[in-house]
Amino acid sequence: MDESKLNEILAVFGERLEKSSAISDVESLKVDFLGKKGHVTSLFKEMGKVAAADRPAFGEKINKVKEKVESGIKELEKNLSEKALNEKINSSYCDVTLAGKFHAAGRRHPISSVIAEIVETFGRLGFSVSEGPDIETDYINFDALNMFDWHPARDMQDSFYAGANAVLRTHTSGVQIRTMLKSEPPIKIVAPGRVYRLDEVDASHSPVFHQVEGLLVDKNTNFAAFKGIITSFCREFFGADRKVVFRPSYFPFTEPSAEVDVECINCLGRGCGVCKNSGFLEVMGAGMVHPNVLRNGNIDPEIYRGFAFGMGVERIAMLRYAVRDIRDFYVNDLRFLSQF
């Protein structure tokens, strides 16, 4: 074998190299010249035809051809990669002097914020959180709370039924029963959650709203302790300058019972549509737990006493943020929600 074969391979490689303009051409060159059946590889297979004395010198020449081919392919690959990178950079040009694009960060809904704050406030008073299902049995939601099917108090809570013995809970008071049935006193819990009632929609009512109920059961609790804890909550949550009023009331699951009113923040006690011109907004119903309710929770009313309370979160939020219409919380208007 003479050197003309080597020069011929280099000449063909040079022509192919000049015509190559894509990464795919690089791979083709590697296969055609350095692959198992490539031009350079075939030269090593023909070494047997060369005289033994000439093999070292001829082998050195073949290696030089291989090095030239490898360096040429490597240089071509480098140039094509740089070219592709530059094209990509130029096609995605960004003017760094322009103002950046900022996306508004999401934030907690005001109702969720108020629930969290109520739970945190009572947490500092020693209450833990307990939860229950949105769909309750008729017994847990009504009967166990001293509201039997003949009781007129049921007329105050027109309900959504999901079956013969399944009702969308009208309050989270059922969590109190569930907690008493599975826990031994002392009990000190708050129960936040969504509730459902067949209410007409207006500035202060909605068929779906949120409540936070509370329950304390112990041997030595009394009405004075109840009033002290609720007053402490109202002072911390609404501020010391807000008037708080306890009004005698009636609930079938507490005796005695009271309504807790806070001075309306919208009108500062003068009277408006939100407070129905009374100057105060009812924020909580409460009282000492009725003995029958304690018995239904497997707790002996001769040994233990307790008090319970329940508040509508939306009303609390309306007081806190001076919102005049409860519907504003639900329409998902970012102009409204972004204020909080």
Task: Output the pLDDT for position 93.
Answer: 67
Task: Output the pLDDT for position 151.
Answer: 65
Pairing of strands 187-196, 166-168: unpaired
Q: Are residues 181 and 123 in the same domain?
A: yes
Q: Which of 91, 123, 150 is the last residue of a domain?
A: 91
The residue to which tokens 């008073």 are assigned: 125
Strands (E), the chain: 128-129, 135-137, 161-163, 166-168, 187-196, 208-218, 244-251, 254-263, 280-289, 305-312
Task: Output the pLDDT for position 48.
Answer: 66
Task: Output the pLDDT for position 158.
Answer: 65
Q: Are residues 144 and 176 in the same domain?
A: yes
Asked if residues 138 and 165 have their Cβ atoms less than 8 Å apart, the reply is yes
Query: Do the domain assignments include residue 9?
Result: yes
Q: Are residues 42 and 187 in the same domain?
A: no
What lies within 8 Å, CB to CB, of 179 at 6+ separation is 130, 187, 189, 191, 215, 297
| 204 residue type, one letter | S
Query: Do the domain assignments include residue 96?
Result: no
Q: Are residues 316 and 217 in the same domain?
A: yes
Task: Output the pLDDT for position 155.
Answer: 64
Q: Are residues 77 and 146 in the same domain?
A: no
| Cα–Cα dist 138/20, whole Å | 81
Q: Are residues 71 and 215 in the same domain?
A: no
Task: Output the pLDDT for position 1.
Answer: 54
Q: pTM of the full predicted structure?
A: 0.65
What lies within 8 Å, CB to CB, of 59 at 6+ separation is 44, 47
Query: Do the domain assignments include residue 103?
Result: no
pLDDT digits (tens, 9 = 90+) for 112-136: 999 999 999 999 999 999 999 999 9
Q: Are residues 72 and 133 in the same domain?
A: no
Task: Output the pLDDT for position 120.
Answer: 94
Task: Output the pLDDT for position 50.
Answer: 67
Give the CATH number for residue 280: 3.30.930.10
Query: Do the domain assignments include residue 68?
Result: yes
- Residue 24 is inside which H or E element, if any? helix 23-29
Q: Are residues 156 and 233 in the same domain?
A: yes
Q: Which of 64, 91, 118 is the last residue of a domain?
A: 91
Total domains in the chain come to 2
pLDDT in tens, the chain (340 residues): 566 777 777 777 778 878 787 777 778 877 777 777 777 777 777 776 666 776 777 777 777 777 887 888 888 888 888 888 887 777 776 777 877 777 777 788 999 999 999 999 999 999 999 999 999 998 999 889 988 776 666 666 667 888 778 889 999 999 999 999 999 999 999 999 999 988 888 887 889 999 999 999 999 899 999 988 998 898 888 878 888 889 999 888 999 999 998 887 767 778 887 677 888 878 899 999 999 999 999 999 999 999 999 998 998 888 788 788 889 999 888 888 888 8
Q: Cα 303 vs. chain centroid, distance in angstroms? A: 43
Tokens found for residue 35:
């692959």
Query: Do the domain assignments include residue 99?
Result: no
Q: Are residues 143 and 254 in the same domain?
A: yes
Q: Are residues 75 and 125 in the same domain?
A: no
Task: Output the pLDDT for position 131.
Answer: 93
| 78 residue type, one letter | K
Structural domain harbouring 50: 4-91
Tokens found for residue 312:
């509508």
Query: Do the domain assignments include residue 158?
Result: yes
pLDDT digits (tens, 9 = 90+) for 199-240: 888 887 889 999 999 999 999 899 999 988 998 898 888 878
Query: Do the domain assignments include residue 323?
Result: yes
Q: Are residues 68 and 130 in the same domain?
A: no
Task: Output the pLDDT for position 98.
Answer: 76
Query: Do the domain assignments include residue 282?
Result: yes
Q: Are residues 319 and 260 in the same domain?
A: yes
Asked if residues 327 and 206 have their Cβ atoms less than 8 Å apart, the reply is yes
SS3 annotation, 66-77:
HHHHHHHHHHHH
